Chain A
Amino acid sequence: MSTTDVPASIPAPASAATSAGTSSPWSPGPIPGTAASVRRTMPIRIEFARQISQWRVRVVLIIFALLPVVVRLAFLIGGAGGPAAGRTDLAAFAQASGTTFTAFILVITAGFLLTLVVALLFGDMIAGEASRSTLKYLLTIPVGRTRLLFVKVLVSWTVLVVGILLLTGMSLLVGTISYGGGGIQIPVGPQLGMGESLLRILAAVAIICLHLSWAAALGTMFTVLAEAPLAAAGGVVITSILSSILERIPDLGEVRHYLPTWNTDAFREFFNARIDYAPIADSVLSALIYALLSTTVAVLWFRRKDISS
């Protein structure tokens, strides 16, 4: 677009700003007193508004909302299957009840999809602003760098948690409509009560989120280090894949237990008849240690970083 479609009423400011009556040219007026209180820069709701307006974020939420429907349709196409076919994994029991369906959805998404979403959300935080050249303007407002990172992380977490809750809620809705309202059917185990099932799903979601903190913090670190959001997101995904590959090399022995993805499935304990809290606690501890390390590096680096984009 050229400027030809803008009326050549130059100097526009003079004419427009003083359209109140006087014909004197526009002036910014006297300098106001600097006593004006500056509240917290970058309020969380503003960053939330900036993020939620982006299609990237909306698409993530839409995918979360639609995934249960897609899985339901897949079951429709794939037919009954189920325990009659002699299988005893959760997939075989997914159609037992709405809550079992929800548990199944959580199990299939927790491994890769959620890591990918975390990479997308957290990898974009700073690198995305840098690639749009908006970062320098935010920093000269001035929004403190730690503050900016903090708000960004908080908003990304909000989007992520809302997304996972959306996924869970939609799964419950779709599952209950399709398969009725019973509790979780434990494979080769009892069927739980409805109240307990909901509690367990909630606990599983909480543990999934806590465990994702390692990937989220890694994304935070990469988004600060990298200039391109794709590089940051890719870094998280590749690290996750690398860790999963190393996990499968038995020669590594106990070293594997310290890999960040080792305890990814810990939340599945909530879908066993008897919950073993040991792997759950281990997964939380391991994720938090990684998260603390990555976040510390991210903050230290970002506070000192030269912004040249």
Chain B
Amino acid sequence: MIKNIVDYLEITQQRFGDKTAYLDAESSVTFTQLKEDARQIAAGLLKDVPKGAPVLVCMEKCVGSIEAFLGVAYTGAFYVPIDIKMPYERIKLIMDTLSAKVLLTRRNDEIPDEIRQTCKILCIEDLMEASYENRDAEIEKRQRASIDADPAYAIFTSGSTGVPKGVVVSHRSVINFTEWWCETFEFDENEVFANQTPFYFDASVKDIYATLRCGATMHIVPKKLFSLPKQLVHFLNEKEITCIDWVPSALCMIVNFHTLEKETPAHLKKVMFLGEVMPTKQFNMWRRALPDVKYANLYGPTEATGDCTYYKIEREFADDEPIPIGYACNNTEVLLLDGDRLVTEEGETGEICVRGCSLAYGYFRNPEKTQEVFVENPLQKDYHERIYRTGDLAKYNAYGELVFLSRKDSQIKHMGHRIELGEIETALGAVDGIKRACCFYDHKKQKIVSVFEGDTNQEEVIAHLKNRLPVYMIPNQFIKVEEMPVNLNGKIDRVLLKETYLQ
């Protein structure tokens, strides 16, 4: 019985040991080598990392990252992927939240001195070269003690108060999702994935563990290719990619610049999109160019592990018709709630709430935020049951399919990233000279707009934000005002600001 993600590796290694599992631009690894490397990393961690402890993994996206994730899983600890390009101040916030004792990296990756002083830094190459007494016996001890309810990873998402929130996900949730994902989309050892999403984004969990579960192959696509459509399609052909599961902006770039008219990805059989709304016009361009490919729209927050709804696109859609997010995944139920009332009528708006074993445990050391969104199921009066309130609004269409409408709060999706505007506002508020600031999202132009009042300028504000926020959270436009408009309650009049800007 599978109770830990490394059980997938153990089983697959026996069936497909010599087969290539993961590849990046510089290296590749077979399932047998992957098992050996992950066990070496685990052995090197055992004395510093107790069962159930967090281990940071901070390195350029590579095959070694996956070896590190699995090495951590062998110890019964859980991994926390960190973007190595993230500003130090944000990494520090995450480290303070976790009180992590160990950070895994590679020799050539640069870790700031400030981080080196706060926890033990271990290089995976050193761990893989070392020799350990009773390595496998010690690992088996940890594995015998592990259960499927143990956390597998924590992924940090934007937090509205300025502090990122660590979503803690169990092995059981990952395994439940992976089983459904592989069965529903008929993955087997012949599948070749092209991974796009960063490893600190939970969508990457899908490619990584489907590969491990099925004995498939996963290529890590060099990031710069996602700005070069011709080279990207050429990569898909060269590597004989059969399945992609990408954010819509990457797919839009390919068709917007007529790439498929010059070269088509001949091996591609499955195209899925996630993370933000796929424009139907661009989807139709894909379908016209590659009519035999199977397409699916996937939806799900990090708190519900991978996806919680899916929609296999089989009927035609007009360019201005939204593509549904469809139906709930296995062992997941989606409740559309208006307050505590279940919405069932076509066209009526409700909040997407999720129940089932895909739910995360909540946010690491953040009971307040956890209690805000992981709440009692209002429809279950007889016993305690948790549901997750996503904050996403949806409706049922005439076919009984779920259709995403919008957010009910100030969370946005920008460049495929989930962002709380409050986190940007908190960072703006910390800039010397800024008295008041607020942000809003221009959905039409897909821009984050910030408005600030104070004695500073755009250059100084950007310089400050670069030290605190990832690049994708830095506003695209800065507007300095003499005085921030306020409403009768003395709060910033966001509606007026946005209306003024849009005019």
Partners in one complex: no
